[in-house]
Structure 1
């Protein structure tokens, strides 16, 4: 990490930096919102599930005090993996990168979705999502490839996986 930004040197048709950015791309929930959401939900579930087991069905302060550390840990994990992140690549050939991204996402069972159904009139962004019930657990992937810049926005866990795969594939 250099100055808070991860830096990769690409070879072949790729050059430069990997930068976290969200310029004109769809913006999902960041770390704070995702952390609060997962913390509250995990705490509520842990409270209601621990009350009958540990406290004889009493839903009191003891059950909440027991569930809160569980909620905080699961909130941190949820925010780490599921917040929205972006990956910005400087490329020499956008078509080569587009083909490689398409191949990776197809291998991970993502399919192209009509961008007008998701983003309205924005057709400069490719939208991918999984089919059937899996789409609810993996979210969407938004890809915009310009002449020398490509931006990918999705969940942080998928962005990290994509970053690793692009680094090893080159």
Structure 2
């Protein structure tokens, strides 16, 4: 018997400090010399060696069926060259699966970055360009020892498509 996969649309909204708060922080430019405060990235990187690197991703479209979380560190992502991009997120939870009701897709301009809270579920980055270089701040072994992925296709026969 053939299973039918459901493709669920997920509306993309423009990111703001307020609408992203349940998932992490939006970090925008500030004047040089500004004193450190709560608007700066509140990082949790003390469970290992921080790794800051540039990753090149090829065109990925806007559809996904996997979502990942890291429970030992925060993660910061931002695009280079001012390219806009998209990410789908669900808030941290104690469950081994994300809350679909709280799944949200965001459009992120190329003049800022995001900090994902410890445990935030995330699918992406996604974008409409041929490729985008992203800076990524996490731990050196995040993708080895702290990378739990939930597969909507395998578990729920479900795929998401981010739409404008």
Q: Which entry has the higher C-alpha Rg, 1 or 2? A: 1
Q: Give the structure-1-normalised TM-score.
A: 0.25
Q: Which has the higher contact order (CA 8 A, sep 6+)?
A: 2
Structure (1/2) with the larger strand percentage: 2
Q: Give the structure-2-normalised TM-score.
A: 0.25
